[in-house]
Amino acid sequence: MRMLFALAALSLVTLPVAALAADESTPSISIIGAQTDVESNATYWLRKREGWFWYRDPPQILPPPKESPASPIRPPELVGFEAMQKRLDDLKRVAVMNPSDANLLAYMRYQRFVMNKSELFAQNWQRLVWTVPDLDYGLTGRPTNSMAVAAFDEQQRERQAQTVRNLAATQGLLFIFRSDCPYCHRLAPILKRFEQEFGMTVFAVSLDGRGLPDYPNPQADNGIAARLNSTIVPALYLTAPSTRQIRPVGFGLMAMTELVERIAALAQDPRQDPL
């Protein structure tokens, strides 16, 4: 009996030791795992800025630095021209601030040097113009030669006269005057010759109801002068009766050639705004 009790007591003593040994080995692993979970959880909650939809931007790849373009090589003529201009300006400023004989002579001599270069440039320019016809304005525009000018003007007057004759078929002149106006008396015979030469009808309108020697039976003003704001006489207007279009030609006394030139210019004017 005592032997059985001793064995039982011995088993009770050794059991906790084994259990303790087992407990000492197992909890060491579970504690480490628990600590790792706590640390990871703590690290996650510390990253609260990331949010639910946070994503990490990929590292930015900077492009390689661009090489600065090489400055273009300037022609030596341009460099020399700028240096010449600067030297001339500097000499002039020095001479203005200190007009001594030496400073004035230095500026005058260098200015002569620059003027010689300009003269050479003009001569070469003119020589090339003579050899290249499309660059000669005297051949493409109004000539500069006196004999050529006379031929050019004569040809231009013929073109203008033909333009006015063609225009006379559909348009006429409105002549507004007063019988006491000396300029109207001078313009009336010019208009009469113009009417006979180019066949363009002249409609005479008198502001005071009286006529002129060349237009003894004018029409009375029916308010057209006020509508045209014609306060200066004599006044001439180009009118197209079919379209009721009226355009001013001019005011005051004018020669026949000037009258033809103005009417031809109006015929070529694309604007058709009636008054």
How confident is the model at residue 126, as a pLDDT? 87
Is 50 or 17 the better-scoring residue by pLDDT?
50
How confident is the model at residue 258, as a pLDDT? 92
Among 31-40, 61-70, 243-252, which stretch is predicted with the lowest mean pLDDT? Answer: 31-40
pLDDT bin (cut points 50, 70, 90) of residue 214 is very high
Among 14-18, 109-113, 116-120, 187-191, which stretch is predicted with the lowest mean pLDDT? Answer: 14-18
pLDDT bin (cut points 50, 70, 90) of residue 27 is very low
Residue 165, pLDDT above cutoff 70: yes
Residue 13, pLDDT above cutoff 50: no
How confident is the model at residue 33, as a pLDDT? 47
**Average pLDDT score over residue span 72-95:** 94
Residue 51, pLDDT above cutoff 60: no
How confident is the model at residue 9, as a pLDDT? 45
**Interatomic CA distance for residues 23 and 72, integer angstroms:** 86
